[in-house]
A and B are shown apart, each in its own frame.
Chain A
C-alpha cells in the first residue's frame, strides 16, 4: 500500500507541476460558477438552465450536481488521459515496469492520484454550498449525500478514464475513448432505453451511471448504487491492470 501511496503522491505532484491541473481546475470552477450563479441559456438548442443560486430558489446544490454529473463525462477523461498514455508516449513505462512495483500498484497509485485531484476540485465547489448556507436553509443530509454521490461517480469516471489511458499512447485518443465509454454509460444508455421495450429498458436503465447517481442528490443512500459504483470502479481498474499486464506478453 505504501508503494501505491507513493505513486499516488508522485502522480498528484505531477499534476500540480504541470499547467494542466490549473487550467482544468480554472475551467471547471468557472463553468460551475457560471451554472451556479448565472445559469445557462442556449436558445437555438432550446437549453435553459436557471441559476441554482437565485432569490426564491430551493436551497440546494442538487441542480448543480445533476448538471455536473453530465459535465464530468468530459472533464474527468481530460484529467485522466495522460495518466498512462504519457508514460507510454515518453517511454517511462519501461522504467516503471522494471521498478519493484506490481501492475496493480501502478494502477492503484495512478487512480488515487487522479482521485485526489478530483476531490480537490470537488472541494473547491464547497464555496458554493457555503453561499447556500449563508443565504438559505440547506438540507445537510441532501448535501452530504450529494457529495458522496459525486465522489462515487467521480471514482467510476476516473477508473474509466484510467482504463482508456491504458489503451493507447496518445493522450487525445485516450481522452476520446474515455469520453466515449462514459457517454455510452450515461447518455447512450438513456437513449437506448427510449427505443427498447419495457423490461429490457429497465435492465439497461440500471446500468446507467446517471440513474444510479440520481438518488444521492435527493438525500437517499441506496446500497445498490453504492455497490454499482464500487463494482464499476473495481471492474475498470481490474481491466486497466489486465491491459497493463498484457504489455508484458504482447
Chain B
C-alpha cells in the first residue's frame, strides 16, 4: 500500500488543526460537564426543598428547647388545614422595644413555622413599603368581607349628604317662626329647632368619622363604623319621631280646648260665685258689727266649704284637660297656663286650701270663744281678706278664659304645620330613610373578630396571623412577656429593670388555634348569685367574693384560647348547661357567697348557699365534669368583724378531695428589712401585686415558670391531715421551702393596716399565732377514681388575681429614683386557667410550651471580667502570633 508522505508544512498545519479540534472538544467537554454539574447542583437542591423532603429530613438537636417549635405548635400547624400567613411587623422606635433586640427571635420562630408547616407563608416586614402592602392586603380582605357593611355605610354617607342641607332649610324656617307664635307658647319652636340642629350635627359628625376612617391609611373598622352610624341614626330617628309625635299630639289641643271650654268655664264660674258668697256672708269692710256672730260664722263656714269644693273641682277639671292634651306634657309649658308665675291648677288648689282653712277657723271661733270676740274676729280678721279671695277667684277665671282663647285659635302658619303633622307627613321625608337604613344596619351579619383587628394593628411590634379568611394580631406583650423575678432573685438585675422572655411559640400557637379550630372544650362558669334588678330597692345582691360579673377579661381570654364559655348559676339551675357532643366540660367554680342575715319580719327570704348547692357540684363532677375551684383569702366583710367568713366549699374539698383550703390566711411576700436584720418590710406594691412564678413540673404550671406573674389575696392549700385513700394531690404553684420573706399570715388585716399607716417594717415573718411558713401550695391538682374514670380538680388559691380590676390596669413599679413607672397588665395570669382548662378537658397537648428557662451568663465581677478580656481577647491571639514569630525565627536560623 502506497503511503503518501506529508511534507513538513502539511504536518504542521494538520497538527494545528488537530490541536484546534482538540481544544474545541476540550472546551465543549468543559462547558457540557460544567453545565451538567450545575444542573445536578440545582436539581439536588430543588428536590431537597420539596415540602415532604424538607419536613422529613430536619432534626432539632437542641437540649434546652429555645429556638425550635414546641410539640404544641407542631400539632396546631398539623391540624390547621388552611393557608396560614404569618407577618412580623416590628418597627417600634421606642428604645425599650427596639426591633433589633426583639425581632430576631420572632423571625426565627416564624421561619421555623414556615419550614414546618405545609402551607405557611412567612413575611418579615421591615420597610414602610412592606407594611403598606400588608395593610393594603388586609384592607382588601376586610373590604371583601364587609361588603354589606361598606354599602350600608356608603348609603349613610349619601343620606347625610342629602339631609344635612335639608336640615339647614328646616332649621331656618323654625328660626323664623314668630316668638309669640302659637307653638312658641309651648316653648316647642325652640325645642324643635334645637333637636333638628342636634340631628344635623350628629349626621355631620358620624359622616366625618366614617370619612376619616375610610380615607386614612389605617384599616377601616367596619364594626365600629357601623356602630357609630347606627348610634347617630338612632339618635336622629328618636328626635325626629319625638318632634313628629309632639306636633301630632299638640295639634289636637285647639279642638280639645274648644270642647273643654264649657265645662272648664262652668267650674271656674262656680268657684267665683262661691267666693262672692263667702264675701257676702262676711260683710264688707267698714259695715256694722254683725248682730248674731255665731250665725254669720255658720254662713261663712258653709260658703267657704262650697268655695273649697268648687276650687278643687276646677283644679281637677284643669288637670284632666292637661292630661287629655298629650298626657300633661304640653299644657304646663303653655304661656297662659301660668298666671303671675303660678300655674292655674296650683292657684285653684291654693284657693281651695284657703277656703278650707277659713271654714275651720270660722267653726273653731264659733265653738270656742265668746260672742264679743267672735264679732271682733269677723270684723278684723275675716272681712279684710275677703276682697283678695274674690280677686283670686276672678283672676283664675280670667286666666282660664285667656288660656282657652289662646289654645283654641292657632295662627295660620302653625295651623299648616299642625295639619301636616296630623297627616303624619311632617319630617317624614327625613325620618323614613333613616328608619329604612337602621333596619338595613340591624340586618347585617356580625363581623367576627374584625372589631379588634384595626385597633390592634396600630400597636407597635406585632405579629399578624392570618388563617384562611380570619386574621388576628399577637401583641408584643404576648410574644415577649415580662420575665419572672427569678433573675432578680439571683441578684443579676435591679428591680427597676424591665426584662422580657420569649413566649412567641405559645402566643402564636394560641392565636392560630383560636382562629382556625372549633372550641377545644367548654368552661362552665359556676357560681351562686342572685342579683336583684337595679330598681329593686332594699334587696341585697347575693354573690361570692369573686362575682361572675368581674370576670369579663377572663371570659374573653378563654374564648380567644378556643374555649367556649357558658354559665351555671346554682341559685337558679340544678344542672350545668348540656355539653355539645364530643366537647368536654370543665366547671370553673367561684367562691360561694357567705350566709346572709335573715330578713326583718315580713321580708322576702333570701336565697342561701347550702348543702344542696354542694351536692349539685358533686353530682356534676361525679357525672364526668372536671373542675377548677377558684379560692382566695376571704376578707371579713362586715363592720367590726375580724374573722374571715367561711369558704362554702371548704368541707366538700376536705371530705371528698382531702384538700384544706385556708381562705382565712393570706400569703404575704415581704422584703428583707436592711435596717432591722431578721425582720421584713411590706412594700405596698407587693402587697397587691405579689410576684411569684415558682411553678412545679406539673404540665399546667411548667410553661409559666419563666413568666413574671403577679397574684393578690392568695390563700394556701394544705393536704388534709386525715388520709384520703385514692386521692392523689400534686402541687402546681408553690412558695418553696426556705423562702424567708414569704408566709401565710393569719393577721393580714392587721398587717395591711400597719402597712398603710407606714409601719410596715420591722415585721417578723410568720410571727403571729396561726401563721404558716413555707413550703406553701397556692395551686394544686387532686385526682381520684370515680367509677371507671379519673376525676380531676384543680384548686387555685389565687382566684382573686383573675378579676378585671386586677387584669386590666398596668402594674405599678418604683424606679431606683423612686419615680413610679408601670409594667404591662398581668394578663399572663389567665394562662394558668387556660392551661388548667386544657388539661382538664383532655387537651393537654395544646398547652403552650412557654418560655424556656435558661440560665444566662451569670454575674461576673469587674476584676474577673478584666482578666477574661485580657486573657482571652488579647493574650490568646498574641500567643498564636508569638508561636508564629518563634517558628519564623527558628526557620531563618
Contact = CB atoms under 8 A, between A and B. Distances in A.
Interface string B42-70: 00110011000110011111111011100
5 contacts: A23-B881, A25-B880, A56-B492, A220-B59, A221-B60
A90 interface: no
Contacts of B887: 16-17, 22
A228 interface: yes
Nearest to B109: A218
Given A25-B881, A249-B27, 18 more contacts: A16-B884, A22-B880, A26-B884, A33-B877, A55-B857, A55-B860, A57-B856, A59-B856, A124-B880, A127-B876, A136-B855, A136-B858, A141-B60, A206-B45, A223-B57, A224-B58, A238-B34, A242-B33
A249 B61 CA distance: 49
Contacts of B33: 238, 242
A67 B115 CA distance: 23
A128 B877 CA distance: 12
Interface stretch (B155-163, B668-676, B866-874): B866-874
A136 B62 contact: no
B768 interface: no
A167 B858 CA distance: 50
A90 B188 CA distance: 111
Interface-centre pick from A136, A137, A144 (highest chain B CB count, 10 A):
A137
A184 interface: no
A56 B59 CA distance: 29
Given A56-B487, A231-B41, A131 B872 contact: yes
A231 B67 contact: no
A25 B882 CA distance: 11
Interface string A238-250: 1100100110111
A29 B875 CA distance: 10
A207 to B, nearest CB: 8
A179 interface: no
A53 B30 CA distance: 50
B407 to A, nearest CB: 79
A200 interface: no
7 smallest CB-CB distances across A and B, nearest first, come from A22-B884, A223-B57, A219-B62, A29-B877, A33-B873, A141-B61, A218-B67
Interface in A127-153: 127-128, 131-132, 135-137, 139-142, 144-145
Interface in A1-48: 16-17, 19, 21-23, 25-30, 33-34, 36-38, 48
B487 to A, nearest CB: 7
B885 A22 contact: yes
Nearest to B111: A214
The main secondary structure of chain B at its interface with chain A is helix
A22 B883 CA distance: 8
Contacts of A57: 856-857
Nearest to A55: B859
Given A26-B877, A142-B66, A224 B57 contact: yes
Contacts of A242: 30, 33-34
B391 interface: no
B26 interface: yes
A137 B37 contact: no
Contacts of A37: 868-869, 872-873
> Which of A59, A135, A228 gathers most chain B CB within 10 Å?
A135
A249 B23 contact: yes
Contacts of B64: 137, 139, 141-142
Interface in B824-844: none
A235 interface: yes
B880 to A, nearest CB: 5
B756 interface: no
A84 interface: no
Contact of B48 (A59, A223, A246): A223
Interface in B219-239: none
Nearest to B66: A139
A23 B108 CA distance: 36
Contacts of A28: 877
Given A17-B891, A224-B45, A231-B45, A33 B67 contact: no
Nearest to B107: A214
A30 B885 CA distance: 17
Interface of A: 16-17, 19, 21-23, 25-30, 33-34, 36-38, 48, 53-59, 124, 127-128, 131-132, 135-137, 139-142, 144-145, 206-207, 218-224, 227-228, 231-232, 234-235, 238-239, 242, 245-246, 248-250
A21 B857 contact: no
B139 to A, nearest CB: 19
Contact of B857 (A30, A33, A59, A249): A59
Contacts of B63: 139-142, 219
Contacts of A136: 855-858
B872 A144 contact: no
Given A220-B59, A224-B53, A235-B37, A56 B493 contact: yes
A19 B876 contact: no
Contacts of B873: 30, 33-34, 36-38
A136 B40 CA distance: 44
Nearest to B38: A235
Contacts of B30: 242, 245-246
B61 A23 contact: no
Contacts of B874: 30, 33
A59 B855 contact: yes
B854 interface: yes
A208 to B, nearest CB: 12
A219 B41 contact: no
A132 B860 CA distance: 12
Given A36-B873, A140-B63, A239-B34, A131 B868 contact: yes
Contacts of B108: 218
A58 B159 CA distance: 61
B877 A30 contact: yes
Contact of A231 (B23, B44, B884): B44
Nearest to B123: A198
Contact of A135 (B49, B54, B115, B860): B860
A132 B305 CA distance: 110
A144 B38 CA distance: 31
A16 B888 CA distance: 9
Contacts of A135: 857-858, 860
Given A231-B45, A245-B30, A141 B62 contact: yes
B877 A221 contact: no
B385 interface: no
B373 interface: no
B444 interface: no
Nearest to B854: A137
A220 B877 contact: no
A222 B66 contact: no
B623 interface: no
B14 interface: no
A19 B860 CA distance: 37
Contacts of B876: 29, 33, 124, 127
Nearest to B26: A249
A192 B64 CA distance: 35
Contacts of A22: 880-881, 883-885, 887-888
Which of B34, B45, B493, B868 has the largest count of A CB atoms less than 10 A from its CB?
Answer: B45
A219 B34 contact: no
A37 B891 CA distance: 35
Contacts of A144: 61
B61 A145 contact: yes
B447 interface: no
A62 to B, nearest CB: 8
A219 B60 contact: yes
Interface string B19-41: 00011001100100110011011
B720 interface: no
Scoring B30, B854, B860, B873 by chain A CB atoms within 10 A of each residue's CB, the highest score goes to B873
Interface in B295-349: none
Contact of B884 (A21, A56, A141, A248): A21
B878 interface: yes
